């Protein structure tokens, strides 16, 4: 990893930057999309590779992150176009720019360390910030709205589905019990409600609120909704021989990426026996990563936060 890809501790170190550049085969004159610009770490290394003549379209739904990226990427002038948008609007953005097709698309999913560690953003059970968790702060609802208003069964469903939390019903029950007394507005308040349930159950290797906070974050930002369809749509904007690369940070996300890529590669995605399978078998792409790539030991030593990253890539044929 080159030195300029490092950021200070509360910022974000791009994950598997070399692998991403190699998979995307970034070349001078190419047109690339970084659909999750964040602080611009990956964008910066892509831009360095695609000069002269290349162009990068960058998207992020987090205005603060995008503003930081804008400063960092300024030396590249008109070669970079940044958009404060949900990446699900990528087709609209590319159509408006009259750009089609592109050489490659990168998605580095989830939250950045910058977001997670920004105390006032309310993503972390370790902070006493307002329970917010919105990536896009112009969004109407936040985590406190879900926690204080959702029916108990719905809350339990979210915690179970997006947090894979076995004690989802007990946690939802405790939340509803507490919110009858007073609204739950702060991260530390919610973390301590959850911790009380686990205390009687003995030692845990991770903080007991980890899975519930992940679930709420995914729900607030609707991170998994429509992701599979979006990957299919985004892929249609890539030219033959071009590639998409996606970094996922938890198994739910990675499963969606794997399934979307299999579908696009014309593989079966159902559980039916072969003679009953009705999966469409039209092959639009070639899977480049039969198994997801993971960070090397050297990278993990420098950036332990990369440990759960899974990188998959598909080439348009
Ligand atoms: C893991 S970070 C990306 C870090 C970036 N690759 C870097 O090197 O700095 C993920 C980023 O994606 C953004 N994001 C997540 N979901 C998004 C969506 N649906 N639309 C646009 N941006 C999204 C988040 O706001 C966050 O900044």
Let me know if residue 17 belongs to a domain: yes
Count of domains for the chain: 2
Closest by Cα among 74, 22, 223 to 82? 74
Mutate to test the pocket of ligand 1, among 13, 61, 225 (most ligand atoms within 8 A of CB): 61
Let me know if residue 260 belongs to a domain: yes
106 and 228 housed in the same domain: yes
- Beta strand pairing call for 102-108 and 238-248: parallel
147 and 202 housed in the same domain: yes
Distances (CA, A) of 99 to 31, 81, 289, 315, 316: 9, 12, 27, 19, 17
* Cα–Cα distance for residue pair 247/172, rounded to 1 Å: 31
Let me know if residue 116 belongs to a domain: no
Which amino acid residue places its CA nearest to atom 8 of ligand 1? 41
Cα 264 → chain centroid: 20
196 and 67 housed in the same domain: no
91 and 146 housed in the same domain: no
Residues with CB under 6 A from ligand 1: 12, 14, 36, 38-42, 59-62, 65, 86-88, 108, 110-112, 135
105 and 126 housed in the same domain: no
pLDDT score, position 2: 38
- Residue where a domain stops, chosen among 187, 220, 253: 220
Q: Is the peptide bond before 209 cis (omega within 30 degrees of 0)?
A: no
Domain containing 204 equals 122-220
* Cα–Cα distance for residue pair 38/67, rounded to 1 Å: 9
- Contacts of residue 152, Cβ cutoff 8 Å, sequence gap at least 6: 172, 173, 175, 176
Long-range contacts of 201-207 (CB under 8 A, 24+ apart): 207/125, 207/126
Let me know if residue 214 belongs to a domain: yes
Task: Check which CATH number belongs to the domain holding 177 and give it.
Answer: 1.10.150.170
35 and 84 housed in the same domain: yes
Residues 159 and 215 sit within 8 Å (Cβ to Cβ) = yes
Task: Check which CATH number belongs to the domain holding 86 and give it.
Answer: 3.40.50.150
Distance 72 CA to ligand 1 centre (A): 16
Please report which residue ranges of 25-151 form alpha helices under DSSP H: 41-50, 63-73, 90-96, 113-117, 143-149
Residues 14 and 42 sit within 8 Å (Cβ to Cβ) = yes
214 and 129 housed in the same domain: yes
Let me know if residue 115 belongs to a domain: no
Enumerate residue ranges in the chain where pLDDT < 50.
1-9
230 and 208 housed in the same domain: no
pLDDT score, position 121: 95
pLDDT score, position 157: 98
- Beta strand pairing call for 55-60 and 31-34: parallel
70 and 30 housed in the same domain: yes
Query: Which helix (H) or strand (E) covers residue 155, if one does?
Result: helix 152-163
Distances (CA, A) of 71 to 58, 77, 217, 259, 298: 13, 11, 27, 37, 29
68 and 145 housed in the same domain: no
- Residue where a domain stops, chosen among 220, 245, 270: 220
Residues 2 and 299 sit within 8 Å (Cβ to Cβ) = no
- Contacts of residue 198, Cβ cutoff 8 Å, sequence gap at least 6: 167, 204, 208
Which amino acid residue places its CA nearest to atom 3 of ligand 1? 38
Mutate to test the pocket of ligand 1, among 12, 38, 110, 309 (most ligand atoms within 8 A of CB): 38
pLDDT score, position 201: 60
The pLDDT tens digits of the residues spanning 145-194 come to 999 999 999 999 999 999 999 999 999 999 999 999 999 999 999 999 99
Residue 96, Cβ neighbours under 10 Å: how many? 10
Can you say whether the dihedral through the CA atoms of 243, 305, 39, 211 is positive or negative?
Answer: positive
pLDDT score, position 202: 61
Let me know if residue 213 belongs to a domain: yes
Q: Is 18 helix (H, G, I), strand (E, B) or coil?
A: helix
Distance 211 CA to ligand 1 centre (A): 20
Distance 115 CA to ligand 1 centre (A): 10
What ranges make up the beta strands (E) of 203-296? 238-248, 285-287
φ, ψ of residue 46 to 5 degrees: the values are -65, -45
**DSSP 8-state code for residue 159:** H
Residue 172 burial class via C-beta count within 10 angstroms: exposed 0-12, middle 13-18, buried 19 and up = buried
Let me know if residue 103 belongs to a domain: yes
The pLDDT tens digits of the residues spanning 35-68 come to 999 999 999 999 999 999 999 999 999 999 999 9
Distance 178 CA to ligand 1 centre (A): 33
φ, ψ of residue 65 to 5 degrees: the values are -60, -45
Let me know if residue 185 belongs to a domain: yes
145 and 167 housed in the same domain: yes
- Residue where a domain stops, chosen among 203, 220, 237: 220
* Ligand 1 atom, smallest distance to 15 CA: 8
192 and 230 housed in the same domain: no
């Amino acid at each position: 990893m080159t030195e300029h890809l490092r950021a200070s501790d509360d910022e974000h170190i791009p994950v598997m930057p070399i692998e991403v550049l190699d998979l995307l085969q970034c070349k001078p004159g190419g047109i690339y999309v970084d659909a999750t610009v964040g602080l611009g770490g990956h964008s910066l290394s892509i831009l360095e590779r695609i000069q002269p003549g290349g162009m990068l379209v960058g998207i992020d739904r987090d205005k603060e992150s995008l503003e930081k990226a804008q400063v960092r990427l300024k030396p590249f002038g008109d070669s970079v176009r940044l958009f404060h948008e949900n990446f699900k609007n990528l087709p609209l953005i590319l159509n408006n720019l009259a750009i089609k097709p592109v050489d490659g698309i990168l998605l580095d999913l989830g939250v950045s360390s910058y977001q997670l560690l920004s105390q006032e953003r309310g993503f972390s059970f370790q902070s006493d910030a307002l329970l917010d968790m919105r990536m896009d702060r112009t969004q109407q609802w936040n985590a406190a709205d879900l926690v204080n208003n959702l029916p108990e069964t719905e809350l339990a469903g979210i915690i179970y589905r997006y947090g894979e939390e076995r004690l989802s019903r007990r946690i939802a029950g405790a939340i509803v019990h507490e919110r009858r007394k007073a609204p739950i507005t702060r991260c530390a308040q919610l973390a301590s409600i959850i911790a009380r349930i686990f205390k009687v159950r003995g030692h845990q290797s991770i903080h007991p609120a980890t899975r519930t906070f992940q679930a709420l974050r995914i729900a607030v930002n609707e991170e998994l909704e429509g992701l599979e369809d979006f990957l299919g749509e985004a892929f249609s904007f890539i030219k033959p021989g071009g590639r998409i690369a996606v970094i996922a940070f938890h198994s739910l996300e990675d499963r969606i990426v794997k399934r979307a890529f299999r579908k696009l590669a014309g593989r079966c995605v159902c559980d039916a026996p072969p003679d009953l399978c009705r999966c469409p078998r039209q092959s639009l792409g070639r899977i480049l990563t039969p198994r997801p790539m993971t960070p090397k030991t050297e990278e993990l030593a420098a950036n332990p936060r990369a440990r759960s990253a899974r990188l998959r890539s598909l080439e348009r044929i």
